[in-house]
Amino acid sequence: MTDRLVVVGGDAGGMTAAAQARRRRPDPGDLAIVAFERGEHTSYSACGIPYYVGDLVHHADDLVARTPSEHRRRGIEMHTRHEVTAIDVDRRSVRVLDLEAGGAERDVGFDGLVIATGAVPLRPDIDGIDATGVHGVQTLADGIALREMIDAERPRRAVVVGGGYIGLELAESLVQREIEVALVEKLAQPMSTLDEDMGALVADALQGVGVDLLLGVGVEAFDVSDGRVRAVVTDARTLPTDLVVLGLGVVPEVGLARAARVRIGETGGVATDAGMATSAEGVWAAGDCVETWHRVTRKPTRIALGTHANKQGRVAGINATGGAARFPGVIGTAVSKICAYEVARTGLGAREAAAAGFDAVAATIESTTRAGYYPDAGPITVKLVAERGSGRVLGGQIVGREGAAKRIDIVATAVWNEMTAEEVLGLDLSYAPPFSPLWDPVLSAARKLVDGG
């Protein structure tokens, strides 16, 4: 008899699991893989939305890694515009609503199930938030709607609400569309995942490209007339606008799992073991909907990134087909670009290290992305955080011009392997003038930690 693996959610986590399962059990007569996605698109890059909105990428299709028909050609029964409305772990079935067929529902049985429902963007209960002209950017459909609005209406002014990396990337895109942008952030710095000193560099970069940055400012209401947003009312001032983009962060989409009494972890994501198995027998979960484990704090955490979703999906797909793969946890490595500046972080910042109970020291250096005399050498600031005494590198943050950000991967590797600053200092990294100064900026930061000064 054919086994059936059902996958809920047709993007990074879900479809990586489905593809991996198909790779391991290629015969659809042996294992049927049935995936449900409530939207129209599958396997799309939400990460590319800012560049599509900014017209650096011209076609939305270019952000789709695998279309529904490509999945079908690879032996996955892909159902788009189908929403799973309930999971019955005892009867081993899901209830599916066909969004195109006038609300027809049916039950589909499973032997194994992967929950990959992603995350939902925060939408605070603020007057006017549902008005025309207020856009989210969570799904490709959201990105398309925003781009169509910009192309059709040529807005002059926009307000981005939220200063996380998504808000910042969208601010950049809107600047590139020659729109006057104001960015409102409740906290005192943009990118709260950075330490204050590094966040200040990001603030300078934003202001440098003309973004009107309102920090420590809360949104109170959206002024609406004729159903359309006209202004954002903040506790500092009112910002007239033609367009609002929300980038307020996300929370895991766990409604289905919770209703099925699948255990939810302390951070609000679906709890899994290292094999991505949930508390329910034969049910795995992957991606933004899950809680994961931080290798430095050794505590549960939840960090919504495509990098994690893909790796977790792979593990879920292997284990749902009888394998024994493990997801090793995360250290929160992320990069972003805000106009000419690149921003990166990994592990713990100084503030986070203190909050996690580490006695930490930090060293910050300023250097250049290439040899100082080489054309287009740009500034780069590297901050490394280490445990006092042992010298173990706990994290790092980088802000700088082109060529700066991916240096974070050296730091990430060091944090991952629990290397000390002295060991980092001894790394045999490459050097030639077009790529770095003789002392790579990461080595210079490690040297400052070790030698002081």
Ligand X SMILES: Cc1cc2nc3c(=O)[nH]c(=O)nc-3n(C[C@H](O)[C@H](O)[C@H](O)COP(=O)(O)OP(=O)(O)OC[C@H]3O[C@@H](n4cnc5c(N)ncnc54)[C@H](O)[C@@H]3O)c2cc1C
Provide the annotated active-site residues: 47
User: By CB under 6 A, is residue 14 in contact with ligand X?
Assistant: yes
Size of the residue set binding ligand X (CB under 6 A): 34
Residues 371-430, interacting with ligand X (CB under 6 A): none
> 371 near 441, Cβ under 8 Å?
no
Nearest approach, Cβ of 188 to ligand X (angstroms)? Answer: 24
x/- map, 292-331, ligand X, by CB under 6 A: ------------xxxx-x----------------------
Cα–Cα distance for residue pair 202/193, rounded to 1 Å: 12
Q: Which residue among 40, 77, 83, 409 contacts ligand X (CB under 6 A)?
A: 83
Cα–Cα distance for residue pair 113/285, rounded to 1 Å: 8
Which amino acid is it at 76? Answer: I
Q: What crossing angle do the helices spanning 12-24 and 306-319 adopt, rounded to 10°?
A: 30
x/- map, 37-56, ligand X, by CB under 6 A: xxx------xx-xx------
Nearer to ligand X, 391 or 403 (CB): 403
Nearer to ligand X, 64 or 233 (CB): 64
Nearest approach, Cβ of 254 to ligand X (angstroms)? Answer: 10
User: By CB under 6 A, is residue 13 in contact with ligand X?
Assistant: yes
Stretch that binds ligand X, among 11-19, 102-110, 191-199, 349-357 (CB under 6 A): 11-19
Nearest approach, Cβ of 255 to ligand X (angstroms)? Answer: 8
User: By CB under 6 A, is residue 117 in contact with ligand X?
Assistant: yes
Nearest approach, Cβ of 31 to ligand X (angstroms)? Answer: 20
Distances (CA, A) of 363 to 105, 126, 245, 358, 445: 59, 42, 36, 16, 6
Nearest approach, Cβ of 279 to ligand X (angstroms)? Answer: 19
Among residues 35, 17, 14, 11, the alpha carbon closest in space to that of 320 is found at 17
> 3 near 301, Cβ under 8 Å?
no
Q: Which residue among 190, 199, 287, 391 contacts ligand X (CB under 6 A)?
A: 287
- Long-range CB contacts for residues 350-356, cutoff 8 Å, separation at least 24: 350/195, 350/383, 350/385, 351/195, 351/196, 352/297, 352/395, 353/385, 353/387, 353/394, 353/395, 356/296, 356/297, 356/299
* Torsion 201-204-206-208 (CA) sign: negative
User: By CB under 6 A, is residue 164 in contact with ligand X?
Assistant: no
**Closest residue to ligand X: CB criterion:** 287
- DSSP lists the bridge partners of residue 99 as none
Helices (H) and strands (E) in the chain, counts: 12, 25
Cα–Cα distance for residue pair 117/111, rounded to 1 Å: 19
Nearer to ligand X, 182 or 254 (CB): 254
User: By CB under 6 A, is residue 166 in contact with ligand X?
Assistant: yes
Residues 128-157, interacting with ligand X (CB under 6 A): 137-139
Among residues 276, 364, 358, the alpha carbon closest in space to that of 324 is found at 276
Nearer to ligand X, 9 or 403 (CB): 9
How many other CB atoms sit within 10 Å of the CB of residue 258?
Answer: 12
Q: Which residue among 31, 84, 248, 316 contacts ligand X (CB under 6 A)?
A: 84
Q: Which residue among 6, 12, 271, 394 contacts ligand X (CB under 6 A)?
A: 12
Nearer to ligand X, 123 or 237 (CB): 123
x/- map, 246-265, ligand X, by CB under 6 A: -------x--x---------
Torsion, Cα 429 430 435 436, to 10 degrees, reads: 50
User: By CB under 6 A, is residue 36 in contact with ligand X?
Assistant: yes
The conformational region for residue 437 under phi > 0 = left, psi -120 to 50 = alpha, else beta, is: beta
> 440 near 407, Cβ under 8 Å?
yes
The contact set with ligand X (CB under 6 A) reads 8-14, 36-39, 46-47, 49-50, 83-84, 116-119, 137-139, 166, 253, 256, 287-288, 304-307, 309
